Chains A and B, each alone.
Chain A
């Protein structure tokens, strides 16, 4: 599993496009697009995203971590995953 920031972003973006944004132009989802405050992920989709991240990267999220501080943009998500992976290793 390649865990550099760029590949995390690419694979999370693929997941988001496929699951929540079918038919959308991939270019409109940038590393800085606000996913939660921008209304793109509602609470149910956010939980689905977290489940995906946990399975894909073998990390765990506590309930209080599921928020826009950790998951607001693709950049934030990659950073969160890297921190969690580092802590586990």
Chain B
């Protein structure tokens, strides 16, 4: 079976002198030949430090050619890479690395000391600076752990693991989502089918490597010999500069969350958008409010637009191509579409039985791209999957959907974002969609909290562009024209930009804690 790093080997043979990667922030590039050599060098250094097949390698570096080579070096060594958000607190990253007992860590020089302090337990030694063959932007230190005499993870199958992505759990403790080479490949092969990438394509790499969107960027690009443009953490949030890079690098494939696309359409307006080379725009990770999607499509009318859906646990499992034109009065978000080839989804009731077509239920996904499981969480794994009577293993997404008349899945909301109010079921996302139609609302997030007197209190946090603060009376009247009365929020709170998680999704946890 093919392994992810073999895509780089193949492309390095075929396109040795061709540019593989551009670090747009630091203005440096590497060819396929150079990237491959760099990956081999890191593999050798890891092997010399004692890394063996089945180990985990932590990556705590800013996005750079060096960290990209690090991913491939770890894979070449037979290990799974564990990328973390290097801007997150060291204590959180240390928790992740200790949780999956990484054997070595590639850490940016300036972060090494802080991380070591938090890793504690004296297991790690500093094995010195990682040797790079060229100035690839970020000096890095290799930390190596003493091999453990006994593994506490007897139940975890580490064979053929490619990477572990930690996602924030609802309990607050991050969970490690394990993907194998096979589950990543199933997704990458589907991408090849969907939009026929080729060596002339230039891919954006906007998502951080610890975010699952990066899997498409990196591996689909490298597989087809394309050019990968790394948009680092700070560049990634500057819409005017991003718009310039999209033009100057002639990016053809863009993939990001909707919030970044929205920023581009609002603040990247000076660029000459008619000259962009984009042919495909993918978005994923959250619902794209139609008014913002429309603005993006007006800015870039040429590319095809796809809504990709899937939790980290499944890669992408359904997709929807947005029609090139749609009625101006449309406000409801587009569906999440149909199953990707290789995956099967069903809409299931609480017993795991498929609901009649058109009924609401939880989306279950089964197939090649579904994760192996969570790292060392047997209880969570048992809860996360539904095993049918034929032994089929279905990941329970926690998302409530129904199939519409076109046969597309319509996303209705998170199971855990549905609350009962006065006996009615309320989907908080539906309230957000209504608020987005208000001319002074550029972002909306709605949370529900239990309340002794009223059962549940619904608060709407708004990124508000109006001159005066939103009036409760005016906002309630506005909502009453869009929503049933029981769904109208009790409070409207202007907050400026909404707080975001490291993957640019609205941080509901933080909003819940706000008064």
Q: Which residues of A contact B (CB under 8 A)?
A: 21, 23-25, 28-29, 33-34, 36-40, 42-44
Q: Mark B443-486, 1 if CB is under 8 A from A, else 0.
A: 00000000000100000000000000001111011011001011
- 23 pairs across A/B with beta carbons < 8 Å? A24-B471, A25-B471, A28-B471, A28-B473, A28-B474, A34-B480, A36-B485, A37-B480, A37-B485, A38-B473, A38-B476, A38-B480, A39-B476, A39-B477, A39-B479, A39-B480, A39-B483, A39-B488, A40-B473, A40-B476, A42-B485, A43-B422, A44-B454
In Å, the complex CA distance between A43 and B422 comes to 10
Chain A residues near B471 (CB, 8 Å)?
24-25, 28
Instruction: Tell me the smallest distance from the CB of A42 to a CB of chain B, in Å.
Output: 7
**Shortest Cβ distance from B471 into A: residue:** A28
Instruction: Tell me the smallest distance from the CB of B462 to a CB of chain A, in Å.
Output: 16
In Å, the complex CA distance between A10 and B476 comes to 22
Instruction: Tell me the smallest distance from the CB of B213 to a CB of chain A, in Å.
Output: 38
Chain B residues near A28 (CB, 8 Å)?
471, 473-474
Are B472 and A33 within 8 A (Cβ)? Answer: no
In Å, the complex CA distance between A24 and B477 comes to 14
Chain A residues near B474 (CB, 8 Å)?
28
Instruction: Tell me the smallest distance from the CB of A30 to a CB of chain B, in Å.
Output: 9
Are B473 and A24 within 8 A (Cβ)? Answer: yes
Chain B facing A: main interface SS: helix
In Å, the complex CA distance between A34 and B454 comes to 22
B residues contacting the other copy or chain, number (CB 8 A): 14
**Shortest Cβ distance from A17 into B: residue:** B473
Q: Which residues of B contact A (CB under 8 A)?
A: 422, 454, 471-474, 476-477, 479-480, 483, 485-486, 488
In Å, the complex CA distance between A37 and B484 comes to 9
Instruction: Tell me the smallest distance from the CB of B250 to a CB of chain A, in Å.
Output: 50
**Shortest Cβ distance from B490 into A: residue:** A42
Chain B residues near A25 (CB, 8 Å)?
471
Are B473 and A29 within 8 A (Cβ)? Answer: yes
Chain B residues near A37 (CB, 8 Å)?
480, 485
**Shortest Cβ distance from B473 into A: residue:** A28
Instruction: Tell me the smallest distance from the CB of B150 to a CB of chain A, in Å.
Output: 60
Of A23, A24, A33, A39, which contacts B485 at CB under 8 A? A39
Instruction: Tell me the smallest distance from the CB of A61 to a CB of chain B, in Å.
Output: 20
Chain A residues near B483 (CB, 8 Å)?
39
Chain A residues near B485 (CB, 8 Å)?
36-37, 39, 42
Chain B residues near A23 (CB, 8 Å)?
472
Chain B residues near A38 (CB, 8 Å)?
473, 476-477, 480
**Shortest Cβ distance from A36 into B: residue:** B485
Instruction: Tell me the smallest distance from the CB of A68 to a CB of chain B, in Å.
Output: 11
In Å, the complex CA distance between A37 and B481 comes to 9
In Å, the complex CA distance between A23 and B476 comes to 15
Known contacts A39-B485, A39-B488, A43-B422; is A21 also within 8 Å of B472 by CB? yes
Are A33 and B422 within 8 A (Cβ)? Answer: no
In Å, the complex CA distance between A79 and B422 comes to 30
Instruction: Tell me the smallest distance from the CB of B456 to a CB of chain A, in Å.
Output: 12
Which residue among A23, A29, A33, A42 has the maximum number of chain B CB atoms within 10 Å of its CB? Answer: A42
Are A21 and B473 within 8 A (Cβ)? Answer: yes
**Shortest Cβ distance from B472 into A: residue:** A24
Known contacts A21-B472, A28-B471; is A33 also within 8 Å of B477 by CB? yes
Chain A residues near B479 (CB, 8 Å)?
39
In Å, the complex CA distance between A13 and B231 comes to 56
